[in-house]
Amino acid sequence: MKEKKIAAISHKTKVIPIQWDATFFFERAVRSLDRYHYDKALKYFRRAAEYEPDNPVNHCNMAGILSEMGNYEESNRILQSIVDELDSEMTECHFYMANNFANMEQYEAAEDALVRYLELDSDGQFLEEAEEMLELLHFELERPTKLAFIKAREGFYEHDQARSLLEEGKFVEAVRLLESIVEKNGQFLAARNNLALAYYYMGMFDKAMTTIHEVLDIESGNLHALCNLAIFHQHSGDQEQLKPLVALLAKTVPFHQEHVFKLATTMGILGEHGEAHRHFVRLLKDSSLRDDPCLYHYTAVAACNMGRHEEAQKMWLQASKLDPKSNVSGYYLEQLELIRKGHNPAPTSYHYHLPFEEQFKLWEKSSDALPDHMKRDPLVRSSFFWALRHGDRNTKLQVIQALGLIADNEVKDALREFIVEPQEDDYLKRIAIFVLRSIGVHESLKAVLEGKETVIEHSRMPSRLPIWEDKWQAVLDAALLRMNKHYDLVQQHDLLTLWIEFLSRIYPDVPKLGKIEGWAAALEYLTAKMHRRAISYHEVSQRYETSIATVSKCAKRIDEICGIKEKMKMIFPALAEHRE
């Protein structure tokens, strides 16, 4: 008997108790929903609601399933109880009720519910769908709808403009517009969300975080804000705040297409590739999205990170068929072969463009002109602005050159802000000043150089020279005009610096500069040598239409004063003295 008792006790310890709570039944419901087992999903959502009766989300999930099953009356009963008893701020319930009434052909009731939604909802998350339904009701009722006011339309035109600016990568202009909208209408949550994103794209992380918390103070369950907050916490490395937020998002099952897409991309960025994959697959089942190459790319990235390489390959091949002019799918298919061989890690970026570093490589290989898609693509532009604030020195140098080729007002504002940052490298700021002058900014510029605030007048670069002669500028213009298509902005800047150094050291005994082309050719020759570019006196003399003797004489004079050859020997000890 004793042995049997011991065996029984031992057997009991192997039983793992099941935690019967709302989360358990919620997860069961989601699994059933993914398999389109609506009856089981409804049963599990009911049990989740029994465990958490005060949680309106559980009841809303039940109403959604009932609507899918065609039980519109019961769905509406639950939705009405949510706004009456649980959470009156869940204005989307009125929209769901309007849909249910329309499906039952109760158009007067549908109109009442839809008008209530539009008059109460400040976020406008179903605004487009609501406007489509208004047209339907107008047709069915054979009269104009009773609608007099759309709350989400307050500042709507301006908000639409701001969204377009964001899509074009014009973040500074978007911020100005969004700030004015939010100032007028603090309840316009879509504008606040986009303002937070605009700050984030510009690298203004603290402002982005403050703005997103303002959204959540107004509406704690705002999905766009929660997704943005999770990405912000990931950026800051705040795992303590991030973990519970990821757990909350993992439990969320949005029905609206835009929300599913937002949640899917967010989970992917957070590294929750399984959750992202599940939502992307749901979206692919929607026939209206099957021609979207971006969606196949996102699904491929998620599948690749899950180790589903064959699925990823199929998805990227499909994206390539849908968008044959893009080189994105081709690049990732090449990377997939390296991943399979264990040479490369799986890609972590869900953006439908080449990685930032890869875009720079293509640009450098092609020509000195920045491709049009890089100028227009808001993600590329945001990468530039991020890198200008947070990149290493070499990356910032590349970005400043790239911004000089974009040369729009957004770029000018960004570079003006850059040159007044005390912690930035003085050399980089001088390059930025040179770029500003090169792209047509001729007014006085405020800058912080050598730890001091200074005002840089119309001359192309700050110098300690008391005057700036027209002939000195003419030499510079002659050199830069001929170098424009053959040298990058850093090399052009170095030529300018060399010329100013020569004039500063020799002043006031500056040569008369009889023939400016000879001095300009000498400056290009020496700049090329400093950057180890192959060049000869003969080559530059032909391009500047001057004699070899003149170029050689001017180059030797500049070298005597500035010690170019000695500096090069110090930098490149193995470099022998150049010969013609």
Q: Which amino acid is at 159?
A: H
State the pLDDT at residue 580: 36
Are 91 and 120 in contact by the 8 Å Cβ rule? The answer is: yes
Bond from prior residue into 17 cis (ω within 30 degrees of 0): no
Which residue would you say has higher pLDDT here, 106 or 349? 106
Q: Which amino acid is at 239?
A: Q
Whether the predicted pLDDT of 16 surpasses 50: no
State the pLDDT at residue 362: 57
CA–CA dist 402, 356 (Å, integer): 12
Longest dimension (CA), the chain: 119
Whether the predicted pLDDT of 544 surpasses 60: yes
3-state SS track over 108-163: HHHHHHHHHHHHHCCCCCCHHHHHHHHHHHHHHHCCCCCCCCCHHHCCHHHHHHHH
State the pLDDT at residue 8: 42
Instruction: Kindly report, residue by residue over 354-374, the tens digit of the pLDDT.
Output: 665 555 555 555 555 555 555
Which residue would you say has higher pLDDT here, 24 or 237? 237
Q: Which residues contact 188 (CB under 8 A, 6 or more apart)?
A: 122, 123, 152, 154, 155, 159, 181, 182
pLDDT band at 402 (very low <50, low <70, confident <90, very high): confident
Whether the predicted pLDDT of 261 surpasses 80: yes
Listed range (100-104, 301-305, 356-360, 535-539) with the worst mean pLDDT:
356-360
State the pLDDT at residue 426: 83
Q: Which residues contact 349 (CB under 8 A, 6 or more apart)?
A: 301, 355
Are 155 and 191 in contact by the 8 Å Cβ rule? The answer is: yes
Instruction: Kindly report, residue by residue over 75-131, the tens digit of the pLDDT.
Output: 999 899 888 888 888 888 999 999 999 999 898 899 888 888 888 887 777 888 888
State the pLDDT at residue 98: 92
Residue of 182, 189, 178, 220 lying closest to 122 (CA atoms): 189
Q: How many residues does the chain have?
A: 580
State the pLDDT at residue 572: 39
DSSP state of 505: H
Average pLDDT rounded to a whole number, residues 390-410: 76
Residue of 141, 193, 186, 131 lying closest to 162 (CA atoms): 193
Cα 379 off chain centre by: 4
pTM of the entire predicted model? 0.51
Instruction: Kindly report, residue by residue over 141-193, the tens digit of the pLDDT.
Output: 877 777 656 766 666 767 888 888 887 777 888 888 899 889 888 888 989 99
State the pLDDT at residue 21: 61
Helix locations, 419-545, DSSP H? 426-438, 470-483, 489-506, 516-530, 537-543
CA–CA dist 419, 55 (Å, integer): 52
Q: Which residues contact 130 (CB under 8 A, 6 or more apart)?
A: 95, 98, 114, 117, 118
Cα 266 off chain centre by: 13
